[in-house]
Amino acid sequence: MKKMSIDEQVAILMQGAEFGDEQIKEHMTLELRQRLAEGRPLRVYCGYDPTAPDLHLGHTVTMRKLCQFQVLGHHVIFVIGTFTALIGDPSDRDKARMRPTLEQVEANARTYVQQAFKILDPERTEVRYNGEWLSKLTFQEIIELAANFTVQQFLARDNFAKRYERGDPIWLHEFMYALMQGYDAVALETDVQIGATEQLFNLLAGRKIQEAFGQKPQVCITFPILVGTDGKLRMSKSQGNYIGIDEPPEVMYGKVMSIPDEAMGNYFDLVTRWSPEEIARIKAGLVDGSIHPRDAKMRLAWEIVDAFHGSEAADAAQEHFRTVFQRRELPEEMPVWELKSPVNVVDLIFEAGLSRSKSDARRLIRQGAVKLDGEPVTDIETMVEPREAVLRVGKRRFLRVTPAV
């Protein structure tokens, strides 16, 4: 790749950035330009708290930006927040997060590196766990960090202000999150931190703490949230509106096809590899009617599956979708479950991995989301006989039942 000018790099790296304040954006753009002019690889990082075992498309918004820094020759640090996850980031919450146990955090963190390398170059990515340095801070050092901020600064944050106005509890440990995340920048001596727009306070706290330690304050680049498959709320596993980057191709494709038409633009901008010009062309086609929303969404679904599973898997997922949803046919391939004797449908759904729990299976049945050979299953006491049949759970999960030989 030809060496890019500073102007070209700034245009790529700031593409899609949103700060909620135009002056901050201009200032950060200027500082990024100045850092790039130093002619050295910048130290760039983003942190990911392992509050759940799976990374989803929402996480990849910042990961793609890290990848762009890598391609341009900069040093990328992928930070897994094994310590900050124990506190819980209050940035996007109108109430305190449930605090996970250390065991839960460590179990979730085990899969993050493998998933991250679906986007980042493993040869050029430094992986760090912030428990390495945060767990070693003394109480005196934490007091010194806290002395850089006032309570008023925290209460001015939108989410805290609303909770304070409602009389909802604001726990003291929630104030500590910004201090801990800010100290990450000191420990790593970073030039740039990537984050979500609602995390801007935390990123700016890192600048202030770096200055207190005699370091040059980092450039902050923040990006808007990716909405979930409901098209309204932030993508989150706890909300059930997520698309996991490790999910099977046909599941991923089907979930993308389920997003509302009005949410497509958010996905075009944040999770595709398309150029700004191509995105603008598709958006214009949707407005003037030259591109049908279904066709645009199918192209989006193919692009997302291709990014994580490759073009062959994307082609197969698209054909699966057309077969199952557009032509209302059954997929050619599906898991097979042999039965020696009749089994309760709830037990079968759970044991075959088609639901997270038996209570989830019962809920799906009551909602009319379960069919046996095309007929709705309405009774949770239904028994499935050992015969050739197809069990369908929801829109995308199939199981071929067959008698054991």
306 and 345 co-located in one domain: no
- Pick out the chain residues at pLDDT < 50: none
Tell me which residue of 78, 111, 80 sits closest to 246, measured CA to CA.
111
Let me know whether 25 and 134 are in one domain: yes
Per-residue pLDDT, 390: 86
Beta bridge partners of 384: 343
- C-alpha span between 398 and 389 (Å, rounded): 11
Note the pLDDT tens digit of each residue in 162-195.
Answer: 888 888 888 888 889 999 999 999 999 999 999 9
Domain count for the chain: 3
Strand-strand pairing, 343-344 and 192-196 = unpaired
Cβ neighbours of residue 181 closer than 8 Å, sequence gap 6 or more? 47, 81, 84, 89, 199, 202, 203, 205, 206
For residues 40 and 184, membership in a common domain is answered with: yes
User: Do 322 and 347 reside in the same domain of the chain?
Assistant: no
Structural domain containing residue 366: 336-403
Give per-residue pLDDT as tens, 280-313.
999 999 999 899 998 999 999 999 999 999 999 9
Task: State if pTM tops 0.85.
Answer: no
CATH number at 78 reads 3.40.50.620
CA proximity to 266, closest of 251, 256, 253, 252:
256
Residues 22 and 67 in one domain: yes
Helices (H), 14-155: 22-36, 57-71, 84-87, 102-109, 112-116, 131-134, 139-146, 151-155
Are residue 176 and residue 275 in the same domain, yes or no?
A: no
